[in-house]
Amino acid sequence: MREFARGVGMLGRGFGYWRRRPGLMALGLAPAAIVALVLLAGLIALGTFLPAIAEAVTPFADGWPGVWATVMRVAVGTALLGAALVLVAVSFTALTLLVGEPFYERIWDSVEKELGGSPTGARYGIWRSALDGLILVARGIGVAIAAGLLGLVPVVGGVLGTVFGVLATGWLVAQELVSRALTARGMLPAARKSLSRRHRARVLGFGAATQLCFMVPLGAVATMPAAVAGSTMLARSLLEPQDRDPQAEGVVR
C-alpha cells in the first residue's frame, strides 16, 4: 500500500504544478476539452439508443417472462455502458496526447528542467504518439470487453466491472503517460514495460488515481495536464538509484 500511495501522491504533485506554472498548464486544457466533448457526444448517443441496443442483442429473451427479460436487458445495457466508459477512458488519453502533443511536450520538458535537466535522448514525436495511441486503444478494447463480461455477473457485476475497469485502464494509461519520459532516456518498449512491472503498485496507484479523476465531471480536462506533469515525476522516481536495476533497464547507449 505504501508504494500504491506513493503513486497516488505523484498525481497530487502533478496538480501542484498548476500553482507553480498555471499559464503553461492551461495550454493542455484545449486539446483535453475538445476530445472530451467529442467522446461525451458519443456517450450521450449511446445512452439514447441503449435500450434499443440491449433489446436488439438479446432476442433470445423475447419469450421470457416480462420481469426476467427486463432484468437481462438491464444487465446487458449496464455491461455495454460500462464497457463503453472503459473504452472512452483509454481513448481519451490516447486521443488527447495525440491532439495536444506540442502542448504536453512543453509541460513534460518544463518539469524535466525544473527537476534537474531535460534528457537528450529520443524525442517522442507525433508518429510515435499516434502508434502508441493505437496500441493503447486496442488494449483498451480488450479491457472494455472483459469489463463488460464482468458486468453480466448477477448482483455484483456492476461493482466488479467498475473496479476492474478503473484498475486495468489505470495501468494502461499510466504506462502510456510515463513512456514519454522513459523514451527520452533511450528506453525501448520492452524495457519500459519491465520497469513498470517491477514497480507495479506505484504505477497502478498513479493510474488508478488518474482514472478516478477522469470520472469526475470535467475532471478529465483539468487532470490531463496534471497527469502529464505527474507522470514525468513518476518516471524519474522509477529510475531513482535505489530502484534501478542496470541490467534490466534496456537503455540504448
Q: Quote the pLDDT of residue 11.
A: 94
* End-to-end Cα distance, the chain: 35
Q: Is residue 88 part of a domain?
A: yes
Give the whole-number percent of the chain exceeding pLDDT 70: 88
Is 94 domain-assigned? Answer: yes
211 located within any domain? yes
Can you tell me the distance from the alpha carbon of 89 to that of 177, in angstroms, rounded to the nearest whole number?
Answer: 13
Give the pLDDT band of residue 245 (cuts 50, 70, 90): very low
Q: How far apart are CA 196 and CA 174, in angstroms?
A: 9
Residue 246 has a pLDDT of 38
Q: Classify residue 251 by burial, with Cβ atoms within 10 Å: 0-12, 13-18, 19+.
A: middle
174 within a domain of the structure (yes/no): yes
Residue 248 is assigned to a structural domain of this protein: no
Instruction: Give the position of cell 493505437.
Output: 134
Q: Looking at the domain assignment, is residue 210 inside a domain?
A: yes
Share of the chain above pLDDT 90, in %: 17
The rounded mean pLDDT for the chain is 81
- The number of folded domains in the chain is 1
Which residue range is the domain that position 173 belongs to? 2-238
Does residue 101 belong to any structural domain of this protein? Answer: yes
Would residue 251 count as lying in a domain?
no
Which residues contact residue 199 at a Cβ distance below 8 angstroms, ignoring those fewer than 6 apart? 3, 238, 243
Grid cell for residue 1: 500500500
Which neighbouring-strand residues pair with 251? 187
Q: What is the pTM of this model?
A: 0.76
pLDDT at residue 252, rounded to an integer: 37
Residue 118: pLDDT band (50, 70, 90) is low
Q: How far apart are CA 96 and CA 151, in angstroms?
A: 27
